[in-house]
């Protein structure tokens, strides 16, 4: 079972969405690597390499079975497993993420939100009542939570991270705008909005230069 790198994961997700969106309402059963490649804007060899890394076999002159490709991507990326997650920090960003309906379809089940602000505790956000953050450790143990979504202010993020990891969380998805250090057996991903902004601003600048030449 080959390991997938990040670029491959992103491409697989694109294939998945392409098949779901654009081809679900055609009556075809199969799709060729060239067809996927054209819309995703990658090389068709790349598509075949990626699919074969999942163990998928295509059929010469026909292509790959769409339903099979979809299911295999779901399984391999973990969308078919159920992952229990909590959100810590029920501000605007935490609230938005905590009530993001689409996650459920991808195997992520947000089961609670926590905050330390007495004004937020007790509020209803999405399907959940905001709970006091001192209850978070007990909650993690009682409900066997696997993922923590952090949307707390940058200056408390590391501290919160330490607490929830100690309570047993195995993965942190960090939306606080700071870098969190974690033990190496913990999965972590920083979803840094400023990183996205930096790329946006730079490509705007490049466009301007291109136009003025």
Q: By the criterion CB under 7 A, which residues form the site for DNA?
A: 5, 7-8, 32-34, 42-46, 48-49, 51-52, 56-64
Supply the minimum distance, in Å, between the C-beta of residue 180 and a second copy. Answer: 13
Q: Does 95 bind a second copy (CB under 8 A)?
A: yes
Taking CB under 8 A as the criterion, which residues in 169-188 touch a second copy?
A: 170-171, 173, 177-179, 185-187
CB-side neighbour CA atoms (13 Å) of 188: 21
Q: Encoding tokens for residue 144?
A: 């066997």
Q: Does 102 bind a second copy (CB under 8 A)?
A: yes
Q: Does 143 bind a second copy (CB under 8 A)?
A: no
Residue with tokens 């690597």: 33
Dist CA 126 CA 85 (whole Å): 14
Residue with tokens 């956000």: 125
Supply the minimum distance, in Å, between the C-beta of residue 21 and DNA. Answer: 19
Q: Does 147 bind a second copy (CB under 8 A)?
A: yes
- Would you mind telling me the total number of residues written for the chain in this entry? 213
Q: Which stretch binds a second copy (CB under 8 A): 46-54, 96-104, 135-143, 158-166?
A: 96-104
Do residues 180 and 190 make contact, with C-beta atoms less than 8 angstroms apart?
yes
| CA-based nearest residue to 2, from 44, 42, 79, 56 | 56
CB-side neighbour CA atoms (13 Å) of 147: 17
* Residue ranges in contact with a second copy by CB under 8 A: 3-4, 6, 9-10, 12-14, 17, 21, 77-79, 81, 83, 91-93, 95-97, 99-100, 102-103, 106-108, 146-147, 170-171, 173, 177-179, 185-187, 189, 191-208, 210-211
């Amino acid at each position: 079972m080959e390991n997938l790198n990040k670029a491959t994961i992103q491409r697989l997700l694109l294939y998945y969405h392409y098949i779901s969106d654009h081809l679900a309402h055609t009556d075809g059963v199969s799709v060729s690597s060239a067809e996927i490649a054209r819309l995703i804007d990658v090389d068709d060899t790349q598509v075949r390499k990626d699919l074969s890394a999942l163990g998928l076999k295509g059929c010469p002159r026909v292509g790959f079975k769409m339903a099979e490709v979809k299911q295999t991507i779901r399984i391999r990326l973990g969308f078919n497993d159920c992952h229990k997650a909590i959100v810590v920090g029920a501000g605007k960003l935490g609230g938005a993420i905590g009530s993001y309906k689409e996650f459920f379809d991808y195997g992520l089940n947000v089961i609670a939100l926590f905050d330390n602000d007495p004004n937020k505790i007790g509020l209803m956000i999405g399907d959940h009542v905001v709970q006091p953050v001192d209850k978070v450790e007990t909650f993690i143990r009682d409900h066997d939570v696997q993922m923590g979504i952090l949307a707390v202010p940058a200056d408390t993020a590391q501290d919160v991270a330490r607490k929830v990891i100690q309570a047993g969380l195995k993965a942190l998805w960090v939306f606080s705008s700071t870098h969190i250090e974690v033990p190496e057996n913990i999965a972590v991903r920083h979803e840094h909005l400023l990183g996205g902004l930096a790329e946006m601003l730079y490509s705007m600048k490049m466009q301007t230069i291109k136009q003025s030449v």
